[in-house]
Amino acid sequence: MTETIGIMAGIFTTIAAIPQIVRAIKNRGVKDVSPFMFIILIIGVSLWTWYGFLKNDLPIIITNGISTLFNAIMLLLIIKYRDIK
């Protein structure tokens, strides 16, 4: 049960950035989206990924690794679209 809760938490945390990414791509804009929040988030999930490697915990590694990727994509979209509109 404990591992199931951890996996579900990881899944929801991982997919949280997807709606923002889709919206940024669709609208070609990132008005009022803070790049600093995504920088801090990337640092946090990167550290969780590293922690997963140290603990040899595959669910932590996978979910936080993917979350790092999604948040990095969003940060790149912020950089790309920040001056548009």
pLDDT grade for 15, boundaries at 50, 70 and 90: very high
Rounded Cα distance, 28 and 85, in Å: 8
pLDDT grade for 7, boundaries at 50, 70 and 90: confident
Q: What is this structure's pTM?
A: 0.86
Confidence at residue 63, expressed as pLDDT on a 0 to 100 scale: 93
pLDDT grade for 66, boundaries at 50, 70 and 90: very high
Contact 73, 25 (CB under 8 A): no
The mean pLDDT of 2-30, rounded to a whole number, is 89
Query: Which domains, ranges and CATH numbers included, belong to the chain?
Result: 2-81 (1.20.1280.290)
The span from the first CA to the last CA of the chain, in angstroms, equals: 48
Average pLDDT, the chain: 91
